[in-house]
Structure 1
Amino acid sequence: MMSLEDFTSQKIKILSGLDNSRKGSYDARIEGLVQFINDIQEYVTTSSCSGRLIMFCPNEGQGNVKKGCKWLYTSHDFVKYEALVSHLKPEDGDIVLKFEPLILHIRCYNMESAKAMLTSSLESGFKNSGFVIGKNGSLVLAVRSCLGLEVPLTKDGVQLVSEEYIKFLAEVANEKLAENFKRMDNFFALLKARFGSP
């Protein structure tokens, strides 16, 4: 079993690099939570996203291309449907609107610490949370929920939905984001109650 000293050494290396999320840095809304977790000796976060709404298409082309996807619009906050409509250009390809809730990867020192963090995530509403054991014995907890949403908007250059429906989707996504932030705040509160000041 890895010693706490070795874990701390690896933690320092992890924290000296970039956050492994696509953005490469913490969202402002999740920064306090991430810093709190990283101040606890037995944990280190490796990637995070507070939740986001994205419009993308699988076609490569202009814009921010990653893994064959072209990202047309991204927001980590509440959205107005007008912003979605303004970025919806059927000629860009097969466009999909997707809401992704919070995802937080936390490397844990041992099974006991992993279970404590998992309990807090489950109790705060992140029911899809779980951890995996890496080849080197590392324990990584993924904090996540099932609040996602994914809807195709265009196909073969044809818009499939009306502006009224896009307005409805924006409302649904905003409701999901509000619930996501509520759960995130509950998670933070539970961690403070459980771990106090690191």
Structure 2
Amino acid sequence: MDRNAEFKRWKAQGLSKADLSRKGSVDEDVVELVQLLNGREQYFTTSSCAGRIILLDGNINGFEVQKQNCCWLLVTHKPCVKDDVIVALKKANGDAILKFEPLILHVQCRQLQDAQILAIRSTHGLEVPLSHKGKLMVTEEYIDFLLKIANQKMEENKKRIERFYNCLQHALEKETITNSHPKEKIKDKNNSSYTHKKKRNPEACGKCIEENDKELENDDDPGISVTIFPEDY
């Protein structure tokens, strides 16, 4: 079976469906990034989030929140104000958690070398418990302080998305040039995958993204999750 043709068919099926995120559509701040990836034959996105501030209500086991068992009291992709959080907290019956989550992007990749370009992860997050068994455990002044931090992270997240988009665009363009020169491609194969990634453009991209070889496992982890097209699909 032609794996390229099969991946193309799989991609067409994936893009014909709605975004698998809770919202069900692509956020405005990552539209260009999603279009950039989906415009390349070796990628397609399945789920995305540009970044959000959320208030969850649910049971906590060792302060590890499982979203599927929680009630979403508040979610916004814009800066958040204290009054909105206070109103939402009145609906809490369990242990409410305020979270900021940066860019989340799940991408299907045709093969390993395609996935290596996207092997990044961000730790630009925030997670703070606010109530226990429906009882508010912090002051409104502290909530206002937390929201200032969360909103600052939201603004920084937008800047990081833009930098990542520029770095990814450069890396993909360089990949295209490399693939069009077989001799250079053969030479590159003599280097390790890590060395190959470092040499893409350290001046342009080295400061933009933090590499991490660990693949993200679920929507709770901020960053980019890549899945390689399976051999036996």
Using the size of structure 1 for normalisation, the TM-score is: 0.77
Unaligned runs of 5+ in 2: 60-66, 177-233
Residue of structure 2 in register with 1:34 after alignment: 34
* Structure 2 contact 44–109 (Cα < 8 Å) conserved: yes
Residue 86 (1) aligns with residue 63 (2)? no
Residue of structure 1 in register with 2:44 after alignment: 44
Q: Secondary structure of 1:161's match? A: coil
Q: Deviations over 1:73-112 (max 9, x none)?
A: 1001111222212222165332111111111011111111
Using the size of structure 2 for normalisation, the TM-score is: 0.66
Runs of 4+ displaced beyond 3 Å: none
Work out which of the two has the higher radius of gyration on C-alpha atoms and give 1 or 2.
2
* Distance in 2 (alpha carbons) for counterparts of 1:111 and 1:83: 44
* Structure 2 contact 56–70 (Cα < 8 Å) conserved: yes
* Distance in 2 (alpha carbons) for counterparts of 1:2 and 1:175: 48
Deviation at residue 2 of structure 1 after TM alignment: 6.2
Per mean C-alpha deviation after superposition, the further-off stretch among 84-93 and 39-48 is 84-93
* Distance in 2 (alpha carbons) for counterparts of 1:76 and 1:188: 19
* Structure 1 contact 46–106 (Cα < 8 Å) conserved: yes
**1:146 partner amino acid:** T
Aligned counterparts, 1:24-173, within 5 A: 24-58=24-58, 67-89=68-90, 92-118=93-119, 122=120, 128=121, 145-173=122-150
Q: How many residues align?
A: 167
Deviation at residue 168 of structure 1 after TM alignment: 0.5
* Distance in 2 (alpha carbons) for counterparts of 1:91 and 1:80: 18
Q: Secondary structure of 1:67's match? A: helix
Q: Secondary structure of 1:95's match? A: strand
**2:88 partner amino acid:** H
* Distance in 2 (alpha carbons) for counterparts of 1:170 and 1:55: 11
Q: Secondary structure of 1:92's match? A: coil
Deviation at residue 5 of structure 1 after TM alignment: 1.4
Deviation at residue 176 of structure 1 after TM alignment: 1.4
* Distance in 2 (alpha carbons) for counterparts of 1:32 and 1:58: 35
Residue of structure 2 in register with 1:137 after alignment: none
* Structure 2 contact 96–134 (Cα < 8 Å) conserved: no
Return the structure number with greater strand share: 1
What percent of counterpart residues are identical? 42
* Structure 1 contact 90–159 (Cα < 8 Å) conserved: no
Residue 16 (1) aligns with residue 16 (2)? yes
* Distance in 2 (alpha carbons) for counterparts of 1:77 and 1:173: 10
Q: Secondary structure of 2:7's match? A: helix
Deviation at residue 157 of structure 1 after TM alignment: 2.8
Once superposed, what is the RMSD of the aligned Cα atoms? 2.0
**2:25 partner amino acid:** S
Residue of structure 1 in register with 2:210 after alignment: none
